[in-house]
């Protein structure tokens, strides 16, 4: 007989912005499952700004967290350790059937470590993605979480091969599809039009009404924004691009702070570059849907643009989501100024990638996860 409290809740962990759109459909699917799987939502508080957290909860119709650990910012060690310290008593108190983590942020790994050492089964959604770049903190979080998680749900077939190479028993892995695309498809019709988003920030939307359309930019990876020379070079090429294609930036707090710290404000061209704070989910969806192209270093946007069929240029040297390049609309351009210019020119001349939507990115991934999770828990989490 299983020692797992089957009647205990599935303890669902979110910490940072990219977790919220993954968890929303999972919570709905757990509730809709027959019989329903009880869930408890834990927010570690890694992201705490209204724009990075509360607004997304509202847009995604996420319930208020049952528990907020309020860890806030800090070095990776401090942040991870604080989540672990504060999560342990919550885990002891609520006796969950399992802990469900998503993605690759510090909160994902921190809660995984606490649970696994207490013998509580860990379920990882979006398992097996690998950039094979161990300088990325997210890669470390992914590798370690996957090594100790008990049930692993993948978004693309290459993820299972990555896991098996690392010695993970294939019986622990289930190809379920992409929950982030569940959110995207479920919210598409509620997306807020780009013009209204600009107006809300006092920017004349006429700047977007040019024949080329407009581009959307997000930039926040430490490797792109924490070094003055790299950030300066990227802002320089983006200013060049803006001369041809107006750009809408959704600025991460880290990037905004570094532009000020390195005194780079003069590189921004307000008449062709709309500088916005971090956007809500529905605003971002509206901006992306209407865009000619997206320039980003985000993981999530690579997948969302592939699902939307919008060409994406990714300003990174590698991707943990290769299907977006092989099948989707994504092209890797790194921080190479020539590659970025060439990528933009190709798209503006009509040679952007069209791509196709990958297998099982169909809006039903969370439903498949809930069904499998129920069976797995019933079988004693083995």
Helix then strand then coil, in percent of the chain rounded to 5, is 50, 15, 40
* Residue 63 CB neighbours (<10 A): 12
Minimum Å gap between C-beta 272 and ligand UD1 is 25
Supply φ then ψ for residue 51, to 5 degrees: -75, -25
Instruction: Return the bridge partners of 313, or none.
Output: 295, 331
Buried residues in 186-217 as b, exposed as e (16+ CB within 10 A): bbeeebbebbebbeeeebebebbeeeeebbbb
- Our CB check for ligand UD1 shows the closer of 4 and 56 to be 56
Least distance CB 36 / ligand UD1 (angstroms):
30
Residue 176 preceded by cis peptide, ω within 30 = no
220 classed as catalytic: yes
Question: Is the CB of 292 or the CB of 324 nearer to ligand UD1?
Answer: 324
Q: How far is the CB of 225 from ligand UD1 (least distance, A)?
A: 9
The three-state secondary structure class of 14 is strand
* Chain residues in the site for ligand UD1 (CB under 6 A): 16-18, 46-49, 52, 73, 104-106, 137-138, 220, 252-254
The total number of residues shown for the chain amounts to 382
For the stretch 282-287, contacts whose Cβ atoms lie closer than 8 Å and that sit 24 or more positions apart, written own/partner, are 282/59, 282/187, 282/190, 282/191, 282/192, 283/192, 283/197, 284/250, 285/184, 285/187, 285/188, 285/191, 285/192, 286/191, 286/192, 286/193, 286/194, 286/196, 286/197, 287/194, 287/197, 287/216, 287/248, 287/250
Q: Give me the least distance between CB of 289 and ligand UD1, in Å please.
A: 21
Extract the tokens encoding 133. 């770049």
Q: In whole angstroms, how close is the CB of 121 to ligand UD1 at the nearest point?
A: 23
Question: How many Å separate Cα 70 from the centre of its chain?
Answer: 20
Q: Please, what is the minimum distance in Å from the beta carbon of residue 102 to ligand UD1?
A: 11
**Residue 48 burial (C-beta neighbours within 10 Å; 0-12, 13-18, 19+):** middle
Question: Residues 43, 47, 220, 252: which is the catalytic one?
Answer: 220
Q: Specify the residue, 37 or 143, whose C-beta has the smaller distance to ligand UD1.
A: 143
Residues belonging to the active site: 220
């Amino acid at each position: 007989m299983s020692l797992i409290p089957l009647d205990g809740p599935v303890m669902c962990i979110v910490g940072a912005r990219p977790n919220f759109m993954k968890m929303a459909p999972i919570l709905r699917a757990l509730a809709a499952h027959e019989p329903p799987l009880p869930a408890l939502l834990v927010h570690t508080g890694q992201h705490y700004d209204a724009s990075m957290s509360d607004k997304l909860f509202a847009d995604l119709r996420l319930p208020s967290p049952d528990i907020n650990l309020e860890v806030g910012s800090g070095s990776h060690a401090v942040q991870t350790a604080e989540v672990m310290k504060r999560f342990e008593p919550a885990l002891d108190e609520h006796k969950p059937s399992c802990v469900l983590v998503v993605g690759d942020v510090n909160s994902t790994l921190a809660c995984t470590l606490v649970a696994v050492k207490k013998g509580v089964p860990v379920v990882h959604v979006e398992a097996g993605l690998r950039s094979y770049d161990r300088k990325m903190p997210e890669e470390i979080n992914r590798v370690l979480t996957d090594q100790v998680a008990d049930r692993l749900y993948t978004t693309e077939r290459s993820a299972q091969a990555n896991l098996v190479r690392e010695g993970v028993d294939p019986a622990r892995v289930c190809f379920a599809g992409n929950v982030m695309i569940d959110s995207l498809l479920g919210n598409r019709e509620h997306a807020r039009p780009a013009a209204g988003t600009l107006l809300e920030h006092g920017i004349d939307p006429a700047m977007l009404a040019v024949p080329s359309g407009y581009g959307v930019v997000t930039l926040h990876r430490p490797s792109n924004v924490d070094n003055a020379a790299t950030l300066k070079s990227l802002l320089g090429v983006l200013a060049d691009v803006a001369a041809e294609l107006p750009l809408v930036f959704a600025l991460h707090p880290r990037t905004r702070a570094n532009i000020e710290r390195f005194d780079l404000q003069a590189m921004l061209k307000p008449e062709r570059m709309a500088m916005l704070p971090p956007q809500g989910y529905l605003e971002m969806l509206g901006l992306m849907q209407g865009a000619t192209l997206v320039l980003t270093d985000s993981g999530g946007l690579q997948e969302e643009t592939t699902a939307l069929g919008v060409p994406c240029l990714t300003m990174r040297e590698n991707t943990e989501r290769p299907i977006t390049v092989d099948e989707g609309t994504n092209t890797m351009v790194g921080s190479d100024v020539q590659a970025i210019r060439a990528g933009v020119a190709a798209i503006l001349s009509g040679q952007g990638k069209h791509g196709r939507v990958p297998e099982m990115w169909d809006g039903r991934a969370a439903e498949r996860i809930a069904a499998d999770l129920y069976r797995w828990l019933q079988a004693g989490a083995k």
